[in-house]
């Protein structure tokens, strides 16, 4: 298995632009998580899905952030409009049931200028 696949690896965008981050979980995994990592705030859970259904989005910072999981093999995290304070590494992770740990993707380093 190729693991959790995220794209793009790096994204540089101007303030006000729309940004879309993509994630393909490990085949067969039924949970998918979006995390944001910064030096100041560490690893923050933004949202997670179970069987494609959003379960907890209480970590989504504000209405500028949205996430979808249209099927078991694909999820997106969208920021519109983007702001410099959104600059961070965004990780996607997946897991199989509740009994196991997470497998993280390689992350997307987002820079908003």
Partner 1 sequence: GENVEQHPSTLSVQEGDSAVIKCTYSDSASNYFPWYKQELGKRPQLIIDIRSNVGEKKDQRIAVTLNKTAKHFSLHITETQPEDSAVYFCAPRTNNAGNMLTFGGGTRLMVKP
Residues in contact with partner 1 by the rule CB under 8 A: 31, 42-43, 45, 48, 50, 55-56, 91, 95, 97-98, 101-107
Cα separation, 55 vs 49, in Å, equals 5
The CA distances from residue 76 to 37, 70, 73, 79, 100, in Å, are 17, 9, 11, 10, 23
111 close to 90: Cβ distance less than 8 angstroms: no
Least CB distance from residue 113 to partner 1, whole Å? 21
Give 10 or 83: the residue with its C-beta nearer to partner 1. Answer: 10
Least CB distance from residue 63 to partner 1, whole Å? 22
Give 10 or 15: the residue with its C-beta nearer to partner 1. Answer: 10
């Amino acid at each position: 298995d190729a693991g959790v696949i995220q794209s793009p690896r790096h994204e540089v965008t101007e303030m006000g632009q729309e940004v879309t981050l993509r994630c393909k979980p490990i085949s067969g995994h039924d949970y998918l998580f979006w995390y944001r990592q910064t030096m100041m705030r560490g690893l923050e859970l933004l949202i997670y899905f179970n069987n494609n259904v959003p379960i907890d989005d209480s970590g989504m910072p504000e209405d500028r952030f949205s996430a979808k999981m249209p099927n078991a093999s694909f999820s997106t995290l969208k920021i519109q409009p983007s702001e410099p304070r959104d600059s961070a590494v965004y990780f996607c992770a997946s897991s199989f049931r509740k009994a196991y740990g997470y497998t993280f993707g390689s992350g997307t380093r987002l820079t908003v200028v």
